[in-house]
Amino acid sequence: MSNSDKSVTKTFGILTAGGDCPGLNAAIRGVCRAAYDRYHMNILGIAGGYRGLINGDIRPLHPGDFWGILTRGGTILGTSREKPFKSNEIGEDKVKEIKDNYRKHKLDALVVLGGNGTNTTGYLLAQEGLNVLGLPKTIDNDIEGCERSFGFHSAMAVCTDAIDKLHSTAESHNRVMVIETMGRKAGWLGLYSGIAGGGDVIIIPEIPYDIKAIGRHLKERAKNGRTFSIVVVAEGALSAEEANMEKKERKKIRNEMAYPSIAYRVAAEIETETGMETRATVLGYVQRGGIPSASDRVLATRFGTFAADMLARGEYGKMVAQIANEVGSVDLSVPAGKTKKVPTDDPILDTAVAVGTCLGV
C-alpha cells in the first residue's frame, strides 16, 4: 500500500490570512512538501486569505511553487483581513460562497495559517461542516493554547536590534527614548524584547502603568548617574486610570489627547513628570517584515510537517501548537475568540524586576 492510499486526505486547500509574518512561507513549505512528497496529496493554493476562498481565487500548487521559499518573508499566497462571518450591509452570504467553493474544488480539508481571527474563523467553518486544520502564526504570541507561535522570535529580534541601536542615541543626547512595539492587547513582544534589549522601563497592557512610578524610577536613575533611559511600551498599554474606565470612555479620552500612538503619549507624560528630554520611536511594520529567524524557520517547518501528518490521519478541527516545548495540537475551540495575555504571576516578570527594570508600578 502506498502512502497516498494511507492518507485520509487526498486534496486540501491552503491559505494565509490576517497580517503577514516571518515564517509563513516556511510553514507553507513544511505542509506542502510533506503532504506532496510523503503522501502524494493534491494541493490547492488559495490567494488572499478567506477572500480568495469566497471569490474562488484558487489554483493547484506544484512542487515548483513551494520549493525554495524557506527563507522568504511574507507569503506566496497573499493575505487579507476578510472576516466572512462578520455581517455586511449588502447582504452577501460569504460563508455560503466559501462552502460552495470548498465543495466545487472537491476539498477534503482546509489548512488555515493565521492568528486569533484566522483560527477563530477556522473554528466557525468547522462548525459549518468543513474539515479545517489551523496553524498558529503571529508576532504577538497571543494565541491561546500555543506556547509560542512562529513569527514571534523574528519580531523579537527586530525589536531588540532597534532597542540596541537607540541605546547609543539616548546615551549621546542624555535622553529618554520611548520605543513602541506591536502586540495588540498582549505584552509578550514588548516584554521579551524589552528584557533582551535592557529596557529600563517596560510597559505592557497586562500591568496598567502609573506615570508617577515611572517618573520616580527615571529620576532615581539620573540621580545615580544614569543620564539616559530606555522605555519599551507595548501598543496596547494603558494607564491605571484608563484601566478603570469603560472602553468608550477610554477611547473618547484618547481621541481628545490626539497623540499618534501610545509611545508619543507616554513620552509627553514622562517629559512633564520628570523634565527630561524624551523622544518616541514607533517600530511599526518592520517588526512583521523580512526573513524569518533560524528558530522560526525550524518551528514553522515542524508545525507544517506535523500538520501534513494530521491531514493524512484525518485529524481535523484542530490547531497545531507548541505544548510543553513539543509540537502537538489543540481543538480549534481553544484559541477561538480568545487572547493569550501575559499572566501577572509569570516568572519572566520577576526576572525583569530582578535586574532593575520598572514595570510601570
Is 97 within 8 Å of 54 (Cβ atoms)? yes
Spell out the long-range contacts of 349-358 with Cβ–Cβ below 8 A and sequence spacing 24 or more.
349/191, 349/207, 351/195, 352/191, 352/194, 352/195, 352/202, 355/195, 356/200, 357/194, 357/195, 357/199, 357/200, 357/201, 357/202, 358/200, 358/201, 358/202, 358/213, 358/214, 358/217
Is 214 within 8 Å of 232 (Cβ atoms)? no
* SS3 at position 249: helix
* SS3 at position 186: coil
Set of cell numbers at residue 20: 503577514
Query: Measured between alpha carbons, how far is 165 from 168 in angstroms, rounded to an integer?
Result: 6
Residue 266 exposure: Cα atoms within 13 Å on the Cβ side: 33
**What are the beta bridge partners of residue 321?**
328
Query: Measured between alpha carbons, how far is 88 from 198 in angstroms, rounded to an integer?
Result: 46
Active-site residue 5, yes or no? no
Catalytic option among 37, 93, 140, 345? 140
Query: Measured between alpha carbons, how far is 94 from 51 in angstroms, rounded to an integer?
Result: 9
User: Residues with catalytic annotation?
Assistant: 140
